[in-house]
Structure 1
Amino acid sequence: MESHEDDHQLLVTPAATADTFDRTTARRAPMMIVDQVRALMRAGLLVAGDRLPSERELGDRFGVSRVTVREALRTLETHGLVTIRVGIHGGAYITAPTGVRVIESIADVLALSVNEAADVVEARQAFELGILPVVCDRADQNDIQDLFAICDRSEAVHSTNGDLGSLSAEFHIRVARASHNAAIELLALSFYSPLLMMSKQAGGPPETGEFRSFVSAVAEKNVRGAATIMNRLLAHGGV
């Protein structure tokens, strides 16, 4: 016997039935369908586990062909927003995008769209300076120890003229994690890879001593001091 929970998985949420979807036009119809599904997810009218109506039903509601609906569903699946199942309980099911999928999407946009070094520096200043009040307020002893450990490794690599790029990226991401805010950490992970690549083109190596001074300022909850040091690092093009 199937559980009531299993039955619920086969239904669209009550709020997302009947007049939920608006009819669309032929031009850009697949993307308009994708946009409507995204909007419903953001509004909480479609949640992970809900099954969308059949291709025929969606076609009738949107006023488009099943081929158009199929293209929209493939796009939603590519973006990690639906899972297509086959079999007796088959159909398109809403699924929450994973952190990895979100990271890859944002990183792709940045890598393919941002080319100017000045834009990279400006974006990093807005983000990294903006999170410092939260980081300084919430960073705990474990955060400080981890950041100092990265400083130790960076200084060891610097003494042998090694590549500090990956350690620098690790440092900045660990700073974001010290905010204890999952959204901030996700954003740092999303854009740091392409920004790191373009920053290498823009400027010289980071100053390892500045990293240690920055951590000390965070440990002292000195937002102004931490911001001054981070600004100095970014202004010189250091990663």
Structure 2
Amino acid sequence: MKTSTAPSPAFAPVKTQRAFEVICEQIRGELAAGTLKTGDKLPAERDLATQFQVSRSALREALRSLEVAGIIRNVKGARGGAFIQSAEPDRIVQAMQDYVHLGSVTLEELTEARIALQDVIVRLACVRATEQDLQDLEAIAEKTKRVTGVEERYQCAVEYYEVLARATKNRIFGIFVDSLSAILHQFVQGPEYETLQETLIQSRLQLVKHLRARDADAAAEEMRKHLGRLHRHVRKNIKGPLAGG
């Protein structure tokens, strides 16, 4: 934890029935401007309430909302208070899951987005993957042959996609890949998935060969076929909003 030595955020008085929302917007605005940074401590509740010219209850509602959103964390004790939280990718993953489960996104839309995303990932990996990345991908594919059970093999698949995303050297891809893996987890099951595994494992090993050859077109095509096979499997197991009409 730290106390920022940068200029203090300048909060304006709030005059609205939805005061807590305006407070949240102002604090987010200070984050966007760089006035508030990870680890910074917000002023005490009394001082914040005075700056915003709101009741302590309205201020606390705003702080609770920001805490739920993962923007601040409240620390108790003599040195406690409200601190700006570091970024937590897991919160983004959960938010995307909630959006899919509550919204009208279909499996076709999700698959289309996943194919497009993985196309970019494998093309970047063709350029940026290190020898260690390639060895890790091969090791995971070989490990999948040795483990048994749907869950164990699915976790190997998740790890494979994570390493592939890591090979792009762009952390944002890792967040998106984790989100999609979490959403599809519940639909990857049953003896059919076990039967499909042999084909998927060979596909992953073939993909590494294309990456080693720096053949982006072949790698992208292998991934497209790979995800197409998974799509057909998930289609048989899917229920709920993702199933579409």
| Unmatched 5+ stretches in structure 1 | 1-5
Report whether the alignment pairs 1:176 with 2:165: yes
Distance 2:45 2:205 in 1: 58
Query: CA, structure 1 residues 87+233, in 2 after alignment: closer, same or farther (shift >3 Å)?
Result: closer
Distance 2:84 2:130 in 1: 37
Q: Percent identity?
A: 30
Report whether the alignment pairs 1:196 with 2:185: yes
SS in 1 for 2:43: coil
Q: Select between 110-119 and 206-215 the one with higher mean Cα deviation.
A: 110-119
Cα offset, 1:52, TM superposition = 1.8
Distance 2:42 2:137 in 1: 46
How does 1:120-139 map onto structure 2 within 5 Å?
A: 120-139=110-129
Distance 2:16 2:99 in 1: 27
Query: CA, structure 1 residues 21+234, in 2 after alignment: closer, same or farther (shift >3 Å)?
Result: farther
Query: CA, structure 1 residues 24+136, in 2 after alignment: closer, same or farther (shift >3 Å)?
Result: farther
Cα offset, 1:107, TM superposition = 4.1
* 1:106-136 CA-partner distances (Å, limit 9, x unpaired): 4444455465211220221122112222211
- Tell me the amino acid that sits aligned with residue 170 of structure 1: E
Report whether the alignment pairs 1:145 with 2:135: yes
Query: CA, structure 1 residues 124+196, in 2 after alignment: closer, same or farther (shift >3 Å)?
Result: farther
TM-score (norm: length of structure 2): 0.77
Contact kept in structure 2, 1:136 and 1:218, CA below 8 Å: yes
| Matched residues, number | 225
* 1:165-205 CA-partner distances (Å, limit 9, x unpaired): 2222222122111112223223322332113334669x963
TM-score (norm: length of structure 1): 0.78
Structure with the greater relative contact order (CA < 8 A, sep ≥ 6): 1 or 2? 2
| Unmatched 5+ stretches in structure 2 | 235-245
How does 1:1-239 map onto structure 2 within 5 Å?
A: 9=3, 13-14=6-7, 16-17=9-10, 20-21=11-12, 23=14, 25-27=16-18, 29-113=19-103, 116-156=106-146, 162-163=149-150, 164-198=153-187, 205=196, 207=199, 208-236=201-229, 237=231
SS in 1 for 2:83: strand
RMSD: 3.0
Cα offset, 1:102, TM superposition = 4.1
Cα offset, 1:22, TM superposition = 6.0
- Tell me the amino acid that sits aligned with residue 182 of structure 1: R
